């Protein structure tokens, strides 16, 4: 299938690690110009080298906290100077800060979960939309979660924010379709990096000092309790599978698809 993505400019937030890195690599294979946004500069430089090896037309690393509007505006300006505009935005930044029953949760973690999973998506989308509307084309792909569809116990605020991402996807699709812009979301189930050493940035949940490592060491039984069974032999997704879904939603063949939530979950919602 010809994707038509060669030479287009793609911005992937949280592009340093796990799902974001795999998405960036998938677009690199299509000869797109790829911009990755994150906070771990050393990892960002390493991933940029990998993107060029995979065939990216050009790459750019941008350090930013996408929960901060001013930093997001600076990224969009830098991308505009280098590439002239943004064709595809992948709002990938997200994650859970901790894991607790809601009644036992710390309100400080609510604010961080809300900012990380939802405010980041609002900030980046708001910043790129004027350019896309002006050009009469664009693709916005939000990374949601099956948590936002079925709800995961011990992850109440994270699940709620991923549900918000899904609702925002549908509403925005209604608002901007007339401008030639499609808006879709991908809802992965648990996605484990196949090469954790290369795929984990300092801020990743999969980093040796990240939240999953901490929970596995201290509350393994609780962590296991939120898992769901797939219908397949394999119980987790691979990051590259999320990358392939993102490439499809961004490509010319998906031009008539908008406002959709694509689950990549091994059938967990049917099990």
Do residues 234 and 156 touch, judged by C-beta distance below 8 A? no
Distance CA 3, CA 248 (A): 7
- Return the exposure string of 12-28: e unless at least 16 CB atoms fall within 10 Å of the residue's CB, then b: bbbbbbbbbbbbbbbbb
Number of Cβ within 10 Å of residue 224's Cβ equals 10
The one catalytic residue among 158, 189, 238, 248: 158
Cα dihedral 212, 217, 218, 222 sign: positive
Asked about 158 being catalytic, the answer comes back as: yes
Residues 6+ apart with CB under 8 A from 110: 157
Distance CA 191, CA 21 (A): 12
Q: What is the DSSP string of 28-56?
A: HHTT-EEEEEES-HHHHHHHHHHHHHHT-
Determine the distance from the C-alpha atom of residue 135 to the mean position of all C-alpha atoms in its chain, rounded to a whole number. Answer: 24
Catalogue the active-site residues. 158
């Amino acid at each position: 299938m010809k994707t038509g993505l060669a030479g287009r400019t793609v911005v992937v937030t949280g592009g340093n690690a796990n799902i974001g890195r795999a998405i960036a690599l998938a677009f690199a294979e299509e000869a797109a110009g790829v911009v990755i946004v994150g906070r771990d500069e050393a990892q960002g430089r390493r991933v940029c080298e990998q993107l060029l090896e995979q065939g990216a037309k050009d790459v750019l690393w941008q350090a930013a906290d996408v929960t901060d509007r001013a930093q997001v505006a600076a990224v969009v300006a830098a991308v505009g100077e280098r590439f002239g505009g943004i064709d595809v935005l992948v709002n990938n930044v997200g994650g859970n800060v901790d894991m607790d029953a809601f009644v036992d949760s710390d309100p400080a973690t609510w604010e961080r979960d809300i900012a990380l999973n939802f405010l980041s998506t609002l900030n980046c989308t708001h910043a790129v939309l004027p350019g896309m509307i002006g050009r009469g084309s664009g693709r916005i792909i939000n990374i949601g979660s099956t948590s936002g569809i079925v709800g995961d116990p011990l992850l109440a605020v994270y699940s709620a924010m991923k549900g918000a991402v899904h609702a925002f996807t549908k509403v925005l699709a209604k608002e901007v379709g007339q401008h030639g812009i499609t808006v879709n979301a991908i809802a992965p189930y648990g996605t484990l990096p196949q090469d954790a050493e290369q795929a984990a940035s300092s801020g990743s949940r999969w980093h040796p000092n990240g939240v999953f490592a901490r929970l596995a060491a201290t509350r393994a039984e609780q962590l296991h309790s939120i898992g769901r069974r797939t219908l397949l032999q394999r119980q987790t997704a691979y990051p590259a599978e999320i990358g392939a879904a993102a490439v499809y939603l961004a490509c010319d063949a998906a031009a008539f698809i908008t406002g959709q939530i694509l689950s990549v979950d091994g059938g967990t919602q049917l099990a």
